[in-house]
Structures are given as C-alpha cells and as structure tokens.
C-alpha cells in the first residue's frame, strides 16, 4: 500500500487523509487529547446542537469552557435546522478557535431528525441549501458537510446534495455510506460514494465500517475518495487513526504494548477526571475502560470491580493491579 495524500480543504492543508469522525458522547476533549497524542491530522468535536448551544452561550457569556485554541486543527460540527442560528453558532465556534465548521446532515437519531435536523435535511434540500449558504457566509474558516447516502434506499441523493454544497461554497464532503433508514445496520456501501466523488471537484471523504488499513484502502478504491474517516475503530484504540494512516502509506506502526496501554488508560482516566470532575469523570471512564480492555482476559470481572468504585485512587489502583496481573502472567501485547 502507498496511499499518502494530503487533503486541501480550501486554505487548510492536512498532510494526512485519515480523519477522526465526530461522535457524540465519545469525541470529547479528553478523547481528542488521546487521539492527538498518538497522531491525527485533524480531530473533530462532538456534534453541537445549535439552538441549545446558542441559548447557553447567551446566558453564560462564557466561552472559556469551549476553547479549541490548543486543539488546532479541529473541526467543530454543528447540527440544527435554523439557518440564522446555525450561522451564529458557526461564528462562535470560529471565535473559539475551530479551524473548520462541519454541518451535520447525517445524524439518524430520532430526537435529531424529529427536529428536522441531521439526516432529515437530506429530505429538504431547499432548507439544507439555506443552512449551507448562511453558515458559509458567516465564517472565514472553511465549511464542510457530513452526510449519509440519502434518507432511504429509494431516495439516494448524496450526489445532488454534494453538488449543491459545492455551489454554496462548502469545501469538503464526508459521506457515511449508509442511508438514514439503515441506521447502523448492514454494511457501508463504499461504491455508492463514487457518485458523490464524480459529482464534485472538492475533496470527498468516505466513511463507515473502516477498521484497519486494508478496509481503508478498499474503501478508497471502491469510492475514489480522497480520504477516509474513522469512527468506531477508535473505541479503546485512540491510535487507530495513526495506525491506519501508516498502513495506507506502507509504513510500519508499533501497536502499543500492554504496558503502554495501561499508561494510556491511566492517562485517559486522569484527563476525564480533570475535565468532568469525579462523578461524571468516573461514569465516562467506565465506558472507555471497557473499550480499552475489550479483548483482554477477565475483562468482565475487572469491569465489575471498576463500576463499583467511586474513589478515584481506588479506581487507579484497580486499573494498575489488573494490568500488573496480566503482565505478570506473561501477556505483553494487546490481543487483536
Ligand atoms: C456513538 C456515536 C456517536 C456519533 N455521533 C456523531 C456525531 O455527533 N456527528 C456525526 O456526524 N456523526 C456521528 N456519528 C457517526 C460517525 O461519525 C460515523 O459516521 C459512523 O459511526 C460510521 O463510521 P464508523 O463505521 O467508522 O464508525 C456517531 C456514531 C457513533 C457510533
């Protein structure tokens, strides 16, 4: 494999074409720090719901909790259905240091689509157009769009929406190769993304079910896309973006040893505590610890112990003693 392609998103040149996907409840500040530590050309925020965010911003007049200045380059993803509100929120995110603003036309979640946002906008191209026009006009940073193939099998319109996006001044399109009706079922159709690539001249990124460098290569070959976006493959593997990128370039990547993994878990835990405080930090950590250790022995018992603890010192001690036990039993590598 030898696929190394920088992606030029208007004024921003990313040396690497393997991008981290936005994921609500996952790609928060601590997770982004972990992904960045292992290496990623671009990180992405969680989805920002425009109206509640704007209301909160006006109430608190306080942007210090949401500064991206140390995270550059970062893509801030906004969702909503009101062009003016989305434009304002895009501007706030630009002021907070976002390098890109991404518009969400892909979220399949009922709460979002029932509010005519996310993938529901693929059923309303005039409103999607107004949103893109309004957001593009409001910021100087490049605006990108993330979409699905369409609402359902009978209404595949990603190429049409992509063409309109380009006309509106959008600078990159990411396509998750599923329809909204599919949710996360079935398999992402990378070949269907080719029609989007053929419809526009701006970069197109293919997304969905890419877990390693061979699936990344296959997705790029099937779609003709300029890059790949990686979501769930980063669960418990914040190095996945870097390792896929190295694989695509024909470079070696040293997967962290079990000792490195122990240190990563402890570091991520500390980041969660300092970002969220003890209560939310502990709750959030349980999910990540489960992912980090999913392929390790006796994980259910370990998770049970962690989930029962609330004192941070005890959690750290439990993590250390679990990993020390594995290391002493001769396990040094992370099982696939
Ligand atoms: C827990 C979770 C949260 C997600 N949140 C978002 C989001 O906030 N914005 C978005 O555009 N996509 C979101 N997605 C979709 C992912 O970005 C990605 O398109 C999808 O997971 C397919 O890629 P993958 O197979 O690499 O995970 C989310 C997916 C998951 C699993």
Residue 61 has pLDDT above 80, yes or no: no
**Catalytic (active-site) positions:** 107
User: Fold identical between 7-248 and 258-328?
Assistant: no
- Calculate how far, in angstroms, residue 111's C-alpha sits from the geometric centre of ligand 1: 15
The whole-number average pLDDT for the span 185-202 is 98
16 lines ligand 1 (CB under 6 A): no
In the prediction, which pLDDT does 3 show?
Answer: 60
Domain boundaries, the chain: 7-248, 258-328
Q: Which carries the bigger pLDDT value, residue 5 or residue 12?
A: 12
State how far the Cα of 34 lies from the Cα of 256, in Å rounded to an integer. 13
CATH number of 258-328: 1.10.1200
180 lines ligand 1 (CB under 6 A): no
In the prediction, which pLDDT does 63 show?
Answer: 53
- Calculate how far, in angstroms, residue 330's C-alpha sits from the geometric centre of ligand 1: 36
pLDDT digits (tens, 9 = 90+) for 257-306: 999 999 999 999 999 999 999 999 999 999 999 999 999 999 999 999 99
Please tell me what DSSP assigns to residue 22: P
Please tell me what DSSP assigns to residue 21: P
Q: What is the mean pLDDT of the chain?
A: 95
In the prediction, which pLDDT does 33 show?
Answer: 98
Q: Which atom of ligand 1 is nearest to the CA of 188?
A: 25
- Calculate how far, in angstroms, residue 180's C-alpha sits from the geometric centre of ligand 1: 12
Residue 1 has pLDDT above 60, yes or no: no
In the prediction, which pLDDT does 294 show?
Answer: 96
Q: How confident is the model at residue 4 (pLDDT cuts 50, 70, 90)?
A: low
Share of the chain above pLDDT 90, in %: 91
The whole-number average pLDDT for the span 79-84 is 97
CATH 3.20.20.70 matches 7-248? yes
- Calculate how far, in angstroms, residue 22's C-alpha sits from the geometric centre of ligand 1: 6
240 lines ligand 1 (CB under 6 A): no
In the prediction, which pLDDT does 259 show?
Answer: 96
Q: How confident is the model at residue 181 (pLDDT cuts 50, 70, 90)?
A: very high
Q: Where are the alpha helices (DSSP H) in the chain?
A: 29-38, 50-60, 83-95, 110-113, 125-138, 158-168, 194-199, 213-223, 240-248, 258-276, 278-292, 299-307, 312-328
Q: For ligand 1, atom 23, which residue shows the shortest CA distance?
A: 208
Q: Which atom of ligand 1 is nearest to the CA of 118?
A: 11
């Amino acid at each position: 494999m030898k696929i190394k392609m920088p992606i030029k998103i208007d004024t921003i040149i990313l040396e690497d074409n393997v991008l981290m996907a936005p994921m609500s409840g996952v790609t928060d500040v601590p997770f982004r720090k972990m992904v960045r530590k292992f290496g990623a050309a671009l990180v992405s925020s969680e989805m920002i719901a425009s109206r509640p965010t704007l209301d909160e911003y006006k109430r608190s007049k306080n942007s210090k909790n949401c500064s991206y200045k140390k995270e550059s380059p970062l893509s801030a993803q906004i969702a909503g259905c009101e062009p003016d509100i989305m434009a304002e929120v895009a501007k706030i995110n630009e002021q907070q240091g976002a390098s890109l603003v991404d518009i969400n036309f892909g979220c399949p979640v009922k709460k979002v689509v029932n509010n005519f946002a996310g993938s529901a906008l693929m059923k309303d191209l005039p409103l999607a157009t107004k949103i893109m026009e309004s957001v593009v006009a409001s910021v100087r940073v490049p605006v990108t769009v993330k979409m699905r193939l369409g609402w359902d099998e009978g209404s595949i319109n990603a190429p049409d929406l992509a063409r309109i996006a380009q006309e509106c001044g959008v600078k990159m399109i990411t396509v998750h190769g599923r329809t909204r009706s599919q949710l996360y079922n079935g398999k992402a159709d990378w070949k269907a993304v080719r029609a989007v690539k053929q419809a526009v001249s701006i970069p197109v990124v293919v997304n969905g079910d890419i877990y390693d460098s061979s699936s990344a290569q296959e997705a790029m070959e099937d779609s003709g896309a300029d890059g790949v976006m990686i979501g769930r493959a980063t669960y418990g593997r914040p190095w996945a973006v870097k390792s896929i990128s190295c694989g695509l370039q024909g470079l070696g990547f040293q997967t962290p040893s079990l000792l490195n993994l122990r240190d990563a878990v402890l570091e991520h835990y500390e980041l969660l505590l300092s970002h969220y405080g003890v209560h939310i930090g502990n709750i959030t950590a349980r999910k990540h610890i489960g992912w980090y250790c999913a392929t390790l022995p006796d994980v259910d018992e370990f998770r049970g112990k962690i989930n029962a603890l609330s004192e941070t010192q005890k959690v750290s001690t439990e993590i250390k003693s679990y990993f020390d036990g594995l290391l002493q039993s001769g396990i040094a590598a992370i099982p696939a």
